[in-house]
Amino acid sequence: MPIYEYICKDCNNRFEVVILPNETIEILCPKCKSKNVQKEISAASIRPKGIPKGKGGFKVPECMNRESR
């Protein structure tokens, strides 16, 4: 499920909201109940398969390597 990060422009509270696909909801600050909120740009939580091995490369861990079985 997508988690969106927001910041309230009135009280500077940062908060997260889970929004389901095709769902339209009014976003309110949970601290001051203001509608004056802005969506923040946040990093994606994408995890590639494998383990970093330097210079940006990834190798498949031995426990997942089908060739070693």
Q: In 3-state terms, what secondary structure has residue 8?
A: strand
What residue segments make up the domains of the chain, in order of their start?
1-42
> Per DSSP, what are the bridge partners of residue 46?
none
Chosen CATH of 1-42 out of 3.10.180.10, 1.10.3720.10, 3.40.50.1370, 2.20.28.10: 2.20.28.10
pLDDT band at 24 (very low <50, low <70, confident <90, very high): confident
The reported pLDDT for the residue numbered 10 is 97
At residue 54, the pLDDT reads 56
User: Maximum Cα–Cα distance for the chain, whole Å?
Assistant: 58
Share of the chain above pLDDT 90, in %: 41
| Contacts of 42 by beta carbon, 8 Å cutoff, 6+ apart | 4, 5
Tokens of 60: 């498949």
Residue 16 or 42, more confident: 16
